[in-house]
Structure 1
């Protein structure tokens, strides 16, 4: 798709995911994009998929504009962003002006892919971990690929509540309440003994600039996501390693301790890895799985797009574990964790 189509596609997706403001903003960008500018030329030079399943250029730019609001660099934009209800014409004029006035900032900001570190995805991780430890009642050695700021590495500090039934921490820093369909997860209790994550561009939630990047990608008309992210940041004490995820995993797999379940997790990150890296990573995990034993098992929990990025069908929840090379289709989840259609049980 071309850039105009990418903006329009993302606008429709955001609207379907409950953000009419983002739908309006991205529609404005589609119709008023400054092709003859440094920003326009930069975006035109991207190759491959520029939409949500690839470089995600529309969300990069929308995140940069939101950052200008959050860091108070653009009071003109802030006066028109939620909770204010601005007219489309007023928002258009302010956005067009911001693209020019803050071009240097936006050029730098859009060098990196979006990093939402959406905390509500931990609802699926909590449920999936309950299934994993039902298979192997062992402490968890946790590894996250594409961990961003490490917020979802801390899912054992959160609670998942389904129709009055609570799973997870007894005194959680936050409670996740997705719309749930299907049977309940098993009651087995995961115990995380150690954890680590990797990201090409790791963020430290304790640092102001990094927390700005994490929160800027949360959509302006969904303030509850800001509340959850800041709560999760308060317990995110595990530094995320900077590096290539597959290279990091090649070193971490052999070091997994005995009498622990090595649980690998990734949520809406796998798609950003090059195909060669995905192929290598899958082969590496399968090879490690072939060596797994009952005293040193391996599990891979993923919440990833399987081709549908419209927001209707969500991401596939899959748990694969060894020994035995068993694959469980756990169900599907909204990309932002608003709902989970659970089929395992």
Structure 2
């Protein structure tokens, strides 16, 4: 995939997911990318997949440009960003000026892959946990793989509200109201006894520079995502550790306590693990599942792309439970949690 194609493909995706500004910005970058600069040469040096399943170069530079706005480092650029609406010509000039003026910052920023912590995915986690508790009603020992800043480990501080009622905290820091299609999830009262997560590059939302990195990858014309992220950050009390997810998972599985449901969760993370790591992780979890008992059960809740391009682009919601090795296809969800097609119990 060429850089031009990557920019245009990402522009189409962002527009389809409700961000016309990102579509405009990335289309401008596709048409006017400065190839003869240090930034242009750096991007040209990347090998392999440069799209969203790989290095994700379009989102790296879009996030870097966005980071200049709330930090007031580029007031001229900020004047062109939402809530303002400007012509392609004005935005093109502002973006090219920013790429030149702030090249050193953008060179450093784009060293790392995009990293958000889409908290609206917790709507699916809340619903999935309610199903797990229908089978094993025990306090939860929670483990998250690819936890980023840990915001989705805090789903017991949030609530999901759909036509069938409210599920979650009575005083939620964040309230999710996705377009819900299907029966409501089962009633349950989740209690998270302890929680831990791991990430190759964990972020600490209590640090301003880390929170900036998380919010810079939120799309500028979607302020509701920014507000939810900041609200979730205010109650984030557990920091993920740095490490390889599968290496971390082994001891975590071995030390799961009696009298608790060990719930492993991940959202749009597993799909980025190398195939070998996925195989090792699956073997670890299945081996632990084979040793599970009713007083020490195991649940594996995932929200990952299913490659379905026939309908809405989204992720499959899957829950595996042990003992019994029960696999439940719960439904599908939008990558940003805007909608959930819930099939469990329907």
> TM-score, normalising length from structure 1?
0.97
**Which residue does 1:198 correspond to in 2?**
198
Counterparts of 1:8-19 in structure 2, within 5 Å, are 8-19=8-19
Report the count of equivalent residues: 345
**Which residue does 2:260 correspond to in 1?**
260
Query: What does the per-residue CA deviation read over 1:61-93, in whole Å, with 9 as the maximum and x for residues that have no partner?
Result: 111110011111111110000001111111011
**Which residue does 2:90 correspond to in 1?**
90
Deviation at 1:201, TM superposition (A): 0.8
Deviation at 1:53, TM superposition (A): 1.7
Q: C-alpha separation between the residues in 2 aligned to 1:51 and 1:312?
A: 20
Deviation at 1:40, TM superposition (A): 1.7
**Which residue does 1:305 correspond to in 2?**
305
Query: What does the per-residue CA deviation read over 1:294-316, in whole Å, with 9 as the maximum and x for residues that have no partner?
Result: 11111111111122479933111
**Which residue does 2:64 correspond to in 1?**
64
Query: What does the per-residue CA deviation read over 1:106-156, in whole Å, with 9 as the maximum and x for residues that have no partner?
Result: 111112121110111000000000001111011100000111110010000
**Which residue does 1:314 correspond to in 2?**
314
Moved more, 100-109 or 252-261: 100-109
Does residue 1:76 correspond to 2:84, yes or no?
A: no
Deviation at 1:272, TM superposition (A): 2.0
- Alpha carbons 1:53, 1:309 under 8 Å: kept: no
Deviation at 1:278, TM superposition (A): 1.4
Q: C-alpha separation between the residues in 2 aligned to 1:122 and 1:315?
A: 13
Q: C-alpha separation between the residues in 1 aligned to 2:335 and 2:304?
A: 8
Moved more, 333-342 or 41-50: 41-50
Does residue 1:188 correspond to 2:183, yes or no?
A: no
Gaps of 5+ in 1: none
Q: How well do the aligned residues superpose, as a CA RMSD in angstroms?
A: 1.3
Q: C-alpha separation between the residues in 2 aligned to 1:106 and 1:248?
A: 32
Query: What does the per-residue CA deviation read over 1:151-209, in whole Å, with 9 as the maximum and x for residues that have no partner?
Result: 01000000100026100001111110000001110012211110001111111111000
**Which residue does 1:117 correspond to in 2?**
117
Q: C-alpha separation between the residues in 1 aligned to 2:176 and 2:183?
A: 17
Q: C-alpha separation between the residues in 2 aligned to 1:25 and 1:193?
A: 44
Gaps of 5+ in 2: none
> TM-score, normalising length from structure 2?
0.97
The SS at the match of 2:202 is coil
The SS at the match of 1:215 is helix
The SS at the match of 1:134 is helix
